[in-house]
Structure 1
Amino acid sequence: MSVTHQDEQRAELSRALVRTATGDRRALEEVYNRTSAKLFGVCLRILSDRSEAEDVLQEVYLTVWRKADQFDPDRASPITWLSTLARNRAIDRLRSSGRREARPLDEATEIADEQPSAFDGLSSTQDAQLLNRCMDQLEDKHRAAVRTAFFDGLTYDELARAASVPLGTMKGWIRRSLMKLRVCLES
């Protein structure tokens, strides 16, 4: 089986993260140069504030510097690991600022969003293409709940209230959706 350009890029990024874990500043610079635009998109999508997103992005790379040894290429692709760090850091910032407004999930289809989504920022990667194909296999309301939970940072309780369903129902939707995604992504 031939190695694709994307596979080689993923391998190079993984190697740079491993070198970062050893204290290699040039490796961190390489990681930053390869991923900062995508991670900034994730942060901006969640925070909707450029200055806040820039601050969070800086925190993300400080975390990468300190915790690169926690990256395991056998468990996740490097961009998935980095995107998760960015997403979680942005959600933490959003929650600490108290700037959250929950709206019914049904409204999401009617609201025009001019900003590129985190999915759009990752669309050039093979992982994102596969994830999008797998997400398309979910029911619309389940797909919307997963996207809202993971890219807008709403809690299960907030999602349940916004969708006007019991909390247990929302947890079930998310859990079953994640299981379906895992099966799809692993096949």
Structure 2
Amino acid sequence: MTADDPFDYDAALVACARGDQGALQQLYQREGRYLLGVALRIVRQHQHAEDVLHDAFISIWQRAGTFDPSRGAGRGWIYSVVRHAALNRVRSSAREVPVDEEASAAIQDDAALRAHAAAADPFELRADLGRLQGCLASLEPERRNCILYAYVDGCSHSEIAERTRTPLGTVKTWIQRGMRMLRECMA
């Protein structure tokens, strides 16, 4: 697999829904290390991140039939499943896990570089990132910050409420409305 090797995530998910274990294996081989980085960034401990990744792939296998390509890309759906599994793991544990920030930063940097190198069309990626940046800039600062805390830092809604000193319900509303505005802007 190279960066120039096209891969149809949507078709792989459809194949998983039909019971094709090879398709799930291809998804794991192609994205497993990056998804582990996503989980590690959120749960902050390697063993827990591996558990999250395992649980997420079981969920991907079981829920592949619910994937709807009209609502988003297959690759994004897979990352969303892992992210939600990691956040659920953090929420369910009542204790904080110490962070080795240097190792975490190295993994995040490596994953970001690999993801960038794997982009099919660098021009299109830059164009999309430019549009996203413009759309984010159009949001009110409070909404933008809540979205960035949630999707970049992996914070839960309650953590965001704590950081911003804003009621939890307000944070949830800002994120929901902000994401709706971003989807409309990016469409």
TM-score category of the 2 structures, normalised to the smaller one: 0.7 to 0.9
Does 2:156 match 1:154?
yes
Cα deviations by residue, 1:120-148 (Å, 9 ceiling, x for unpaired): 37545479753574144245553331122
Question: 1:168–1:69: structure 2 CA closer, same or farther, 3 Å change rule?
Answer: closer
List alignment gaps of at least 5 residues for structure 1: 102-110
Matches of 2:17 and 2:44, distance apart in 1: 31
Question: Match for 2:105 among 114, 117, 139?
Answer: 114
Mapped to 1, the partners of 2:176 and 2:143 lie a distance apart of 10
| Residue of structure 2 equivalent to 1:134 | 132
Hey, what does 2:51 align to over in structure 1? 55
* Aligned counterpart, 1:97: 93
Q: CA deviation at 1:59?
A: 0.7
Higher deviation after alignment, 28-37 or 157-166: 157-166
- Quote the offset at 1:46 in angstroms: 0.5
Is 1:71 the equivalent of 2:67? yes
TM-score (norm 2): 0.73
Change (3 A) 1:132 1:167: farther
Change (3 A) 1:27 1:172: closer
Structure 1 residue 179, shift from structure 2 partner: 2.6
Task: State the partner residue of 1:40.
Answer: 36
Q: CA deviation at 1:61?
A: 0.8
Point out where structure 2 has 5 or more consecutive residues left out of the alignment.
none
Quick one: which amino acid aligns to residue 45 of structure 2? D
Number of aligned residue pairs: give it: 169
Q: Look up the equivalent residue of 1:41 and give its one-letter code.
A: G
Amino acid at match of 2:85: R
Distance 1:85 1:42 in 2: 11
| Range with bigger deviation, 58-67 or 165-174 | 165-174
User: Helix, strand or coil for the counterpart of 1:114?
Assistant: helix
TM-score if structure 1 supplies the norm length?
0.73
What is the deviation of 1:149?
Answer: 2.3
Aligned-pair Cα RMSD in Å: 3.2
Question: Which residue of the partner structure matches residue 106 of structure 1?
Answer: none
